[in-house]
Structure 1
Amino acid sequence: MTLPKGTWLKEWNPEDPERWNPGLAWRTLWITTFNLTLAFITWFVVSALVVRLPKVGFEFSTVQLFWLTAMPGLAGGTLRIVWTFLPPILGTRHLVTFSTLLLLIPLLGWGFAVQSTQTPYWVLLLLAFLAGIGGGNFSGFMPSTSYFFPKRLQGTALALQAGIGNFGVSVVQFVTPWVIGFALFGTLLGGPQTFTPAPGVSQPIWLQNATFVWVPFVLVAALLAWVYLRSVPIRANFREQFDIFRDKHTWVMTSLYIMTFGSFSGFSAIFPLLIREVYGGFAGAPDPLRYAFLGPLVGSVSRILAGPITDRFGGAIVTQVSAIGIFLSALLVTLYTRPTSLEQFPFFVLAMLLVFFFAGVGNASTFKQMPMIFPPRQAGGVIGWTAAIGAYGPFLFSTLAAYTQQATGSFTAFFYGLMVFYALNLFLNWYYYARRGAEKPC
């Protein structure tokens, strides 16, 4: 297919078959999804690194470690607010290309910082914040992709992009333990650190590999975006886009997305530390990174699978199922947050995987609801805004979990508080969208 010349398309109407180019739409989806996956990898690489830092000589408290996992979430949410408004200003081509290149800052920074235990804590906090650039990208990439597809396909398209992008969380938590185990770059980018998994036991690891390995992929992804992406002629300045905040449904959908994506991103960030803190005191305690990747993997797969289901049955009813599932799964987790033996660990992991599963389902269904509730330009803005607030999940979950444990000695109260929030959203979705005679059935 011949690519249109220039950056901006002259016309684009996906609801009119004569004025829609499906080849360009799907090409945009796949290239942007590749870039988005790398963004999620960058966003969550800190969660994969922090569980190793104490065993290579970094002397941090539990609260300090939770703050390192919290900072990417704080940055991701804040930067997503900015990225929300960029698609109609910069266009897909420029936005995806330059946002991807920005990922090089935290990736290179962390690669050099972890090589010395003398690196100040504030530097690691700053680099953790900069990793949030990867989280910010989501609120630019998803709305711009939504412009390319008709409403009948947006549930599937957005679920594919977000679901595959979410795989980045699982990928980085799965790849990190393997890639830090050998001299991937020889001595070119630094020597090994001494890892002491148990007293009297030590081995060399190369923590810098966890971030350096992704640099070539980022460069390739940015090049693909620049060469093959184009921008839909939907334009608006910052002021014109503020009209979404006058609609109450923006705020209802924001709360629903905090329930779904906030849970997915929040638990993805703290799952390794939850395993370490709850079950790490037992003899033969499990390695958190052997299990942590399973949560985001399950959530990503369920998001992809739920996309076509929402196109067929509607987003509201699927969100209702998601809310019920998250609530009951969180209740199940509380049965295993004060363990008496390692025999309870498999049940703890299973309960957490159920939380991830239903959160992933809700991630897909809420993104189906928004294009049905709002017109295209506003829908893009609401998608970006809700994604921005949902991205505070790692920050909120990390800080609340840390201080709940500090105050009560366990994480049980943390899950009870979440259940109250889940129940509220169950009611909101039913009242406004899912019940018979709802104000905005979708």
Structure 2
Amino acid sequence: MTAPSTAPAPSSGPRRGGRWIEHWDPEDETFWNTTGERIARRNLFFSVLSEHIGFSIWTLWSVLVLFMGPEYGLTPADKFLLTSMVTLVGAVVRVPYTFAVAVFGGRNWTVISAGLLLVPTVAAFAVMEPGTSFTTFLLVGLLAGVGGGNFASSMTNINAYFPLRKKGWALGLNAGGGNIGVPVIQLIALAIIGANGRPRVLLGIYIPLILLAAVLAFRFMDNLEKVRNDTGAAQDAARDGHTWIMSFLYVGTFGSFIGYSFAFGQVLTNQFGRTPLQAAYLTFIGPLLGSLIRPVGGRLADRWGGARISLYTYVGMGAATAVLVYASQQKSLGLFVPVFVALFVLSGLGNGSTFKMIPGIFHTKALARGLTGEAAAAYGRRLSGASMGLIGAVGALGGVGINLAFRQSFLSYGSGTGAFVAFLVFYAACFAVTWAVYLRKPAGATSPAASAAEKEPQLGYAEV
């Protein structure tokens, strides 16, 4: 149950149904140590569970396409198009999912969004058999995109629970626990393929798990009264250049993670001639390690600054991609697989560090405006919460771009080499933007004559 110190008094005004907490001030260390941390951690745990299953359903088709042999009549281009469209829907729904938390409450929306996962799972269970048209598979696959929205609502909700000093760890753990749904569903699929099971067995396993996640969220999570749907915050976030800069950078980290998660197995089967079973033995490793290391990226960002960690991450991603270009040209599976896995790990680190930057950037802007204490924290929470949906949506579009790039590369060259060259150029751009916006000192920064306006954009950004 919610601790008495956070429960609203009967005379405190209208109270909507469900578990609602009216007073919440995580920046107050006394409140945090005596009451807040326990409640925040409980909500984090069940948020991770629901988001984890959401990621599994979203990336379901990256696994199902491996089951779909010649009898299904789909070409490699068809499969890349199918996974691209699933990723696209998952990106788009992140925007309304972000604001649904404020409309319905974090707990209530977690229950609703978990329940919605039944729709794509049951639909896929119904149509998964040879003879079904590609159009039907495409339409049913699009439904799985709702699983991608769970990330945005979960991150927005958990962002409100934790103090700024712990957001990197909390958001990294929340996102990493969700991301790990990708390798988990791939591991379960590996067991099913190895046992000569059918795709419907995989789908049948997740139906009771979805129901369990919804019931546990209903029973143990809370809603925060202070999280309100603030149209002005959404507009302010959309007008702020940092929202779009971080969206671009997030394409490079999370877009890479989700795009490669969908594409890895298909690249192994189409370019290196692996069977579905052989591919399944390898595809889960990268997403697993990339998910597990995401909280580490957040923790490192808490300590050293998200901008610095992100910069080094892009250097590593660029280097790994350059090696993948060579491995792809040489058709060297022994080199290709470990370097691709390393690319997953780096994307996971970058996921944690880039998302940690968001609340830090807006808190820094609050300080530059002369705000202090709770006023600065409230300003940062308001804009960072509103921006997360936009950033998460644009970042997920990177997964669409990766799958479409692979599709075109295979159509044009018969391999993924062309796509990797394009990714290398993009990571170089991410490096340049991170350095220029968040780490480069302006020319007049040390001059006493420099105006406050000139100094404000660089205030503490290296530490965000």
335, 354, 359: which is aligned to 2:347? 359
Identity rate of aligned residues, in percent?
Answer: 32
Matched, 1:81 2:95: yes
CA distance in 1, matches of 2:352, 2:325: 26
* Alpha-carbon shift at residue 285 of structure 1 (Å): 9.4
**Pick aligned residue for 2:439 from 431, 434, 438:** 434
Pairwise CA distance, 1:355 = 0.9
Give secondary structure in 2 for the equivalent of 1:287: helix
| Contact 1:264–1:299 (CA under 8 A) maintained in structure 2 | yes
Aligned ranges 1:415-434 → 2 under 5 Å: 415-434=420-439
Please point out which of 97, 114, 132 is paired with 1:119: 132
Deviation per residue, 1:156-177 (Å, 9 max, x gap): 0011111111110001111112
Kept in 2: contact 1:280–1:286 (CA 8 A): no
Task: Tell whether the 8 Å contact from 1:107 to 1:211 is kept in structure 2 after alignment.
Answer: yes
**Among 270, 275, 279, the residue aligned to 2:272:** 279
Matches for 1:97-108 after TM superposition, within 5 Å: 97-108=111-122
Which residue is equivalent to 1:350?
Answer: 338
CA contact (8 A) 2:2 2:19 kept: no
Aligned position for 1:387: 392
Residue 80 of structure 2 corresponds to: 66
Tell me how many residue pairs correspond in the alignment. Answer: 414
Q: Which of 12, 22, 29 is the aligned partner of 1:17?
A: 29
Partner of 1:110: 124
Q: Is 2:320 aligned against 1:329?
A: yes
Matched, 1:172 2:188: no
Do 1:310 and 1:364's aligned partners in 2 also have CA atoms closer than 8 Å? Answer: yes
1:26 corresponds in structure 2 to: 41
Asked if the contact 2:168/2:295 (under 8 Å) is kept, the reply is no
Report if the CA contact (8 A) 1:89-1:237 is conserved.
Answer: no
TM-score scaled to structure 2, two decimals? 0.86
CA distance in 2, matches of 1:172, 1:50: 13
- Write the distance in 1 (CA, Å) between the matches of 2:2 and 2:79: 50
Equivalent residue for 1:247?
240
Which residue does 2:412 correspond to in 1? 407
Determine if the alignment matches structure 1 residue 315 to structure 2 residue 306: yes
Alignment-mate amino acid for residue 231 of structure 1: N
> Matched residues in 2 for 1:308 and 1:234: separation?
25
Specify the code of the residue in structure 2 equivalent to 1:206: R
Counterpart contact for 1:180–1:209, Cα < 8 Å? no
Query: Alignment partner of 1:48: what SS?
Result: helix
Q: CA deviation at 1:59?
A: 0.7
Deviations 1:150-209 (A, max 9, x none): 000000001111111111000111111213555xxxxxxxxxxxxxxxxxxxxx532101
User: CA offset at residue 304 of structure 1?
Assistant: 2.2
Alignment partners' CA distance in 2, 1:239 and 1:250: 15
Which amino acid in structure 1 is aligned with residue 43 of structure 2?
T
Greater helix share, structure number: 2
* 1:256 aligned partner: 249
1:147 partnered with 2:135: no
Conserved in 1, the CA contact under 8 Å of 2:233 and 2:382?
A: no
Does 2:150 match 1:159? no
TM-score (norm 1): 0.90
Distance 2:229 2:126 in 1: 40
- Provide, for residues 278-319 of structure 1, a one-character-per-residue CA deviation record: whole Å limited to 9, x for no partner: 1017xx897211101111012112212222221111111100
Q: Which residue of the partner structure matches residue 358 of structure 2?
A: 370
- 1:309 alignment partner AA: L
Cα distance change, pair 66–356 in 1 and its aligned pair in 2 (3 A)? same
**Distance across 2 between alignment mates of 1:339 and 1:178:** 31
Deviation larger for 302-311 or 163-172: 302-311
Task: Tell me the distance in 2 between the aligned counterparts of 1:129 and 1:285.
Answer: 23
3-state SS in 1 of match to 2:73: coil
8 Å CA contact retained: 1:25, 1:148: yes
Q: Residues 404 and 411 of structure 1 are in contact (CA less than 8 Å); yes or no, is this contact kept in structure 2?
A: yes
Question: How far has the Cα of 1:240 moved from its partner?
Answer: 4.3
CA distance in 2, matches of 1:53, 1:133: 22
Offset from partner CA, 1:69-100 (integer Å, 9 cap, x none): 11210110111122122222222011111001
Which AA in structure 2 matches 1:156? W
Structure 1 contact 267–397 (Cα < 8 Å) conserved: yes
Secondary structure at the residue paired with 1:173? helix
Q: Distance in 1 between matches of 2:125 and 2:190?
A: 15
Please list the CA deviations of residues 127-171 of structure 1 after superposition, one character each: whole Å capped at 9, or x if unmatched. 111111110111111111010000000000011111111110001
The whole-number CA distance in structure 1 between the counterparts of 2:345 and 2:193 is 29
C-alpha separation in 2, matches of 1:148 and 1:294: 32
Cα–Cα, structure 1 residues 222 and 236, in superposed 2: closer, same or farther, change >3 Å?
A: same
* Letter paired with 2:242: H
Q: How far does residue 396 in structure 1 lie from its aligned partner after superposition? A: 1.6
Q: Pairwise CA RMSD of aligned residues?
A: 1.8
Q: Do 2:183 and 2:284's aligned partners in 1 also have CA atoms closer than 8 Å?
A: yes
Bigger drift between 90-99 and 427-436 goes to 427-436
- Which residue number corresponds to residue 206 of structure 1? 198
d(CA) in 2 for partners of 1:311, 1:390:
21
Stretch moving more, 78-87 or 242-251: 78-87
Aligned residue for 2:20? 8
Tell me the secondary structure at the aligned position of residue 60 of structure 2: helix
**1:108 offset after TM fit, Å?**
1.1
Counterpart position of 1:196: none
Question: For 1:373-396, what per-residue CA distance to the aligned partner results, in whole angstroms no more than 9, with x for missing partners?
Answer: 111021112222111111123322
